[in-house]
Structure 1
Amino acid sequence: MSIGILGTKVGMTQFFDEAGLSIPVTVIQVGPCVITQIKALSTDGYNAIQVGYQQTVECKLNKPLLGHLRKSQAPPLKYLREYLVESSDDFELNQVLSTDIFKVGQKINVSSTSVGKGFSGYQKRHHFSRGPMSHGSKNHRQPGSIGAGTTPGRVYPGKRMAGQLGNKKVTIKNLQIVSINIENGLLIIKGAIPGKPGVLVKISK
């Protein structure tokens, strides 16, 4: 796995290509990210790069995290994420990562937290079909039977039922970079990514 970067979702818009076709795109404010730790196979058992994003004030971080950042002489950073790499020899502490590690047309994977929709029922959460809508029916949006009878006498774990919908980590793979704005640190990606504007986005090649 190659190193990636952290960013913030700005929102969606449209992008016109050379043929004049309109492409729905998502704009992501990327970096700058700072390498706060380098893990090697000899010392940690695996090769990885820890990346920090979004500088904040010290009073919003706890003392262990501040001590960890001071050890690498990094500023107080709100988010820390790791990326597995084949070799950590090409990186150094406090190295700044930005949009220059990507190129137009490249395929990337984007992870973020999806929009939370609260406690949702069967139709909305699992796309169950509804019951009869006739006058005598009392099963319009109800689940119906959930058990399997006397044997096994219980409901199996993982049964699709009503519950929390959204607000979980979602990864969208193979999204294409349409354009890169180096001056403002923006990545313009074809298609939609999960979450509301302002959500933390993890990008990996």
Structure 2
Amino acid sequence: MTPLLNTLRAGLGASLRTECRSFVTAATQPATWTHKSVRTGVIARKKGMTAMWDEWGVRIPVTVLQVENCQVVKVLNEETDGYTALQIGSTDRTEKNVTKPMLGHFQKAGVSPKRRLIEFHVTPDAVLPVGTELLASHFVPGQFVDCAAPTMGKGFQGAMKRHGFGGQPASHGTSVTHRSLGSTGQRKDPGKVFKGKKMAGRMGGEQATVQSLKVMKIDNGLNLIYVKGAVPGVDDQFVKVRDAVKKRGDRIAPADVLPLPFPTVDPKLVKAMPRELVAKTGGADPYVMKE
């Protein structure tokens, strides 16, 4: 029995050593981006709108977003929190303007206090360690992103502006009710106005998401992201930017820039990159008349 036990122990030890070696190798190797991978997003600040021109001279309106001191503050996992996510903080602030509980939260993470915290759900292979800094090069020119932020507040507005109603007839017989809401109820039955009726009220200031916006340019010097089109919110508003959910797989970006930086871009590589990275538009000259 003794030789048999020795053989079993040797075999068990060899298999255990093999499993440990494979685990260490997998932990040290960099993660690989797949079509099912979900990366974290970043918190940017809207700086306004400008315009770009492509190689054909076509004007492209773009919104400028700046990534400012964006870091990972906390990692949430399945075992303790029930889901996998990263808590991202943006824009440093002084300690005197932070409550003691939040100050302890930032000190535990080893990062400076932040003005805004947002959670991004990620897949387990896209988890980043606490303190990791996210840069504008987390995205690549030509890829599509979703931008979410509170819309501009417009105050108390009437039904026509708030809900797009057509108004009353602008003809003879209508007396100072051209922009009126009109009837809001029915007859004696039910004898009330239903809840949720579109009426006058406060307009704007609600969370909105604009999907599938194309990244036109990345400025590595100033950490700027140039996004084609309009983004919700006023200037200097915090904007949640992440990979487009409706452009999964190969549709997320052109083939020549895939795979995306995963789980994020290496700061050492950013220093070796050109300051500006511009998306390719390609195609035929739009000003040439077709025969």
TM class, shorter-chain normalised? over 0.9
Q: Does 1:2 align with 2:57?
A: no
SS at match of 1:145: coil
Q: CA RMSD in A?
A: 1.4
SS at match of 2:101: helix
1:159 is matched with which residue? 197
SS at match of 1:67: helix
1:24 is matched with which residue? 61
Residue 114 of structure 1 is aligned with which of 146, 151, 156?
A: 151
Q: TM-score, normalised by structure 1?
A: 0.95
Identity %: 37
Structure 2 counterpart of 1:25, one-letter code: V
| Bigger proportion of residues as helix | 2
Q: Which deviates further from its counterpart, 96-105 or 132-141?
A: 132-141
Structure 2 counterpart of 1:170, one-letter code: A
Residue 125 of structure 1 is aligned with which of 154, 162, 167?
A: 162
> Given that residues 10 and 197 in structure 1 are in contact (C-alpha distance below 8 angstroms), is that contact kept between their aligned partners in structure 2?
yes
1:197 is matched with which residue? 235
Residue 111 of structure 2 is aligned with which of 24, 49, 74?
A: 74
Q: Does 1:169 align with 2:202?
A: no
Q: Does 1:98 align with 2:104?
A: no
Q: Does 1:38 align with 2:75?
A: yes
| Bigger proportion of residues as strand | 1
Larger radius of gyration: 2
1:12 is matched with which residue? 49
Residue 222 of structure 2 is aligned with which of 173, 184, 199?
A: 184
SS at match of 2:124: coil
Separation (CA, whole Å) in 2 of partners of 1:185 and 1:89: 22
Separation (CA, whole Å) in 1 of partners of 2:77 and 2:89: 18
Residue 133 and residue 100 in structure 1: after superposition, are their counterparts in 2 closer, same or farther (change >3 A)? Answer: closer
> Given that residues 17 and 23 in structure 1 are in contact (C-alpha distance below 8 angstroms), is that contact kept between their aligned partners in structure 2?
yes
Bigger relative CO (Cα 8 Å, ≥ 6 apart): 1
Separation (CA, whole Å) in 2 of partners of 1:115 and 1:89: 33
Instruction: Give CA deviations for 1:157-185 in whole Å, capped at 9, x if unaligned.
Output: 21110011111111000000001001110
Separation (CA, whole Å) in 2 of partners of 1:141 and 1:19: 45
5+ residue gaps, structure 2: 1-37, 244-291
Instruction: Give CA deviations for 1:37-67 in whole Å, capped at 9, x if unaligned.
Output: 0011111111000001000011111111111
Q: Does 1:55 align with 2:96?
A: no
Instruction: Give CA deviations for 1:113-162 in whole Å, capped at 9, x if unaligned.
Output: 11111100011111111213446423222212111222222211211100
Q: Cα offset for 1:89?
A: 6.3
Structure 2 counterpart of 1:202, one-letter code: K
Q: TM-score, normalised by structure 2?
A: 0.68
Q: Cα offset for 1:87?
A: 0.7
> Given that residues 86 and 127 in structure 2 are in contact (C-alpha distance below 8 angstroms), is that contact kept between their aligned partners in structure 1?
no
Structure 2 counterpart of 1:130, one-letter code: G
Instruction: Give CA deviations for 1:66-117 in whole Å, capped at 9, x if unaligned.
Output: 1111111111111111000111664101011111211011100001111111
Aligned residues: 205
Separation (CA, whole Å) in 2 of partners of 1:143 and 1:44: 48
